[in-house]
Structure 1
């Protein structure tokens, strides 16, 4: 049996079925009725915070493209942002938290790029408070088993039997369900889903495992417009700025990292200096066994930090890491006493309000403002910091760097790919 919360209207009052009776068709019929259509997406549950941010960009760019379409069936889509609940890497309670995107990001800034709304706004739009909602069409994206058999990239998709039993959870809401869940074998870019949206009159369409769909516009100016629109929650920025000023002698004015209030007013430049400290993202835990060749020991990490501080004539390092306290103390013991070592320690109020996601953002902000940044090989956490530094206008040589593994020589320590900003 598929894991579907089947809820029958005969037993449940106030079930709202979103359907094509509420859609203003291309011939102008029923145009006095609401014609907003809703697109939902979700990501494979084990995926982390920073990968989910990347999948958001794929769908935000897609939704932006739809909003500019001349097809009346396409241009009124709103992208409903999936609430943050029960991420595997976060410490959370057994009950879903349904954290809104506005807790971490500036929603108004996101909406200047793409027609996005929070899940609670979707419920409000229905004018049924939190009554039961049945999503009309649900597609669970899955990879083709033989997608590279031809030896070349070919876009394709089709409704097919499910490779694995679907486990759509509808963001852990008890009042959201569907009785129409199908598996969609998919290979290609996100915009290929336009065909699905055009062929149905459904007002609500949900794409699960959205990470299967690829970026339409990776690395170009539209991609970077979307990325620049992802301004952080202003309170998180203020917490980070207060920490930088108090412990790291760093401010936006002295560091030349000031940005205009609206991301659309940003101009390309390379004159950011950064605060007088080195920042390091040290990913340990699963990387120790998942990428053992590229993950240095604690002692070798300390050696690389000392060398870079000497080269930069600095005596302060800020470290963002998932290492347990004992490993962090070990790292400090390998650094000489004249080196100032900092790690962000949130108080109870910050931990309670902003959770692990907010703390991660604070650490990324602090890392992104450093004079020089060293990341971890193939870590999305490091990628996000590098993007922030590109947006602020740091020289490339101070941004795209990584820690080397113990057995990697200077020549074999593969350099970080440079994804440079485009305006």
Structure 2
């Protein structure tokens, strides 16, 4: 590579971050961005940065019991926080590897831990909203695999009688970390890197507030280069559903390889392509704006039918298989459709029973090849299901399911009529059958 000189004198810090990030990833240096005095190999290129601060790193994790789609929601909260941090000084969001999910139960795909975000999401798209990097890349530039400070977020033990934003250092109500007295350091799950990664500073914070309420705590009188917030789901969205919320959501594009698999399935079985369905994506989401009704959708009904633990814990919300089939039949007649795609966590025998009630229709379910399942795990298969559901002419989901919520988001981004998106299946005893709130996209 030839010599490239970049001068950013007087430039706003946030404009520098993509340059710094590209420099870090291109140089493949273990010390880059961590040592303020580091100088890259001039034989590759030269970077001259005037009046620039070395970036800091924010890491986070979520309660182990939370599922894949709730974790995606927490990412948005923390991404908005990092975007706000970047208004004053450079910060990079370190993406927590995926793994150990309750619903990821497949036995034939190996251990589902340490999965990078690039397996599921388009990192270039994420970076159009906020600077991000994979945890594995963070470890390459961290001199000793240390996270300087870890804060375990928790609710207030005494509860609360009124809403107010507040935060206090408190004794840990529950502490999942363990202390190595010989080396004077704390170890924990750390995304499946229990032995390699550690911290010397661990404190518990009782917090009530929005994500960006943490900004002063992270920036004032604090010099740690890397800070981790565990149990990040404790903090709330700054402003749920506003334009910044939707910028973060729009940036979360699925990885191209997963979209390709889903698109091939649509083409082969559902007579559905982006060109015919009017769902073609612009390469850059920041330049894309769709009106409601712009998307036509493929000639099929898509259904998310939640089963498994919902059948036990939410009996009033989940219909029997027979009643679900009755509702599907009614919609198929109304929409004059012959094909229906079912995304469900139901075991195969339950899916077979559902199909038996829908004999007059073409009923489809995505079944991954061993190669696809081995490479993309349960999370990738779930994304393929969501992408197929997102392109149907009409979608109906399950009540209070984050899986259904994320499909509704995708359809808003693609430009579907909300009346064809915000719908749910109802229990046979639910006579009113209230439909979900319509969280419409804001640009």
TM-score for the superposition, normalised by structure 2: 0.84
Question: Which residue of the partner structure matches residue 200 of structure 1?
Answer: 222
Deviations 1:74-101 (A, max 9, x none): x211110000122222136785631110
1: CA distance, partners of 2:164 / 2:290: 35
Partner residue of 2:99 out of 85, 100, 113: 85
1:13-412 aligned within 5 A: 35-69=54-88, 75-91=89-105, 97-126=113-142, 132-149=144-161, 152-167=162-177, 168-173=188-193, 174-198=195-219, 199-270=221-292, 271-335=294-358, 337-409=359-431, 411=432
8 Å CA contact 1:23, 1:36 repeated in 2: no
8 Å CA contact 1:22, 1:203 repeated in 2: no
Q: Secondary structure at the match of 1:40?
A: strand
Deviations 1:202-254 (A, max 9, x none): 11111000000101131000110110111110111111111001000001111
8 Å CA contact 1:376, 1:403 repeated in 2: yes
**For the structure 1 residues 190 and 360, does the alpha-carbon distance in structure 2 shift closer, same or farther, using more than 3 Å as the test?**
same
Q: CA deviation at 1:22?
A: 5.3
Q: CA deviation at 1:184?
A: 0.3
**For the structure 1 residues 364 and 96, does the alpha-carbon distance in structure 2 shift closer, same or farther, using more than 3 Å as the test?**
closer
**For the structure 1 residues 267 and 291, does the alpha-carbon distance in structure 2 shift closer, same or farther, using more than 3 Å as the test?**
same
Question: Which 5+ residue runs of structure 2 have no aligned equivalent?
Answer: 1-29, 39-49, 178-187
Question: Which residue of the partner structure matches residue 3 of structure 2?
Answer: none
**For the structure 1 residues 159 and 37, does the alpha-carbon distance in structure 2 shift closer, same or farther, using more than 3 Å as the test?**
same
**For the structure 1 residues 333 and 178, does the alpha-carbon distance in structure 2 shift closer, same or farther, using more than 3 Å as the test?**
same
Equivalent pairs counted in the alignment come to 388
Q: Secondary structure at the match of 2:115?
A: coil
1: CA distance, partners of 2:331 / 2:106: 37
8 Å CA contact 2:31, 2:141 repeated in 1: no
Q: CA deviation at 1:180?
A: 1.3
2: CA distance, partners of 1:404 / 1:156: 39
1: CA distance, partners of 2:155 / 2:79: 22
Range moving further from structure 2, 161-170 or 136-145: 161-170
1: CA distance, partners of 2:37 / 2:228: 17
1: CA distance, partners of 2:80 / 2:429: 41
1: CA distance, partners of 2:52 / 2:196: 24
Deviations 1:296-327 (A, max 9, x none): 00100011000100010111100000000000
Q: Secondary structure at the match of 1:176?
A: coil
Q: CA deviation at 1:60?
A: 0.7
**For the structure 1 residues 96 and 253, does the alpha-carbon distance in structure 2 shift closer, same or farther, using more than 3 Å as the test?**
closer
**For the structure 1 residues 268 and 32, does the alpha-carbon distance in structure 2 shift closer, same or farther, using more than 3 Å as the test?**
closer
**For the structure 1 residues 21 and 269, does the alpha-carbon distance in structure 2 shift closer, same or farther, using more than 3 Å as the test?**
closer
Deviations 1:32-91 (A, max 9, x none): 99722111100001111100100000011111111122xxxxx21111000012222213
Deviations 1:145-197 (A, max 9, x none): 34432xx3200111001111334411121211012111100000011111221
8 Å CA contact 1:281, 1:374 repeated in 2: yes
2: CA distance, partners of 1:195 / 1:273: 46
Q: CA RMSD in A?
A: 2.2
TM-score for the superposition, normalised by structure 1: 0.88
8 Å CA contact 2:98, 2:117 repeated in 1: yes
Q: Secondary structure at the match of 1:52?
A: helix
8 Å CA contact 1:298, 1:330 repeated in 2: yes
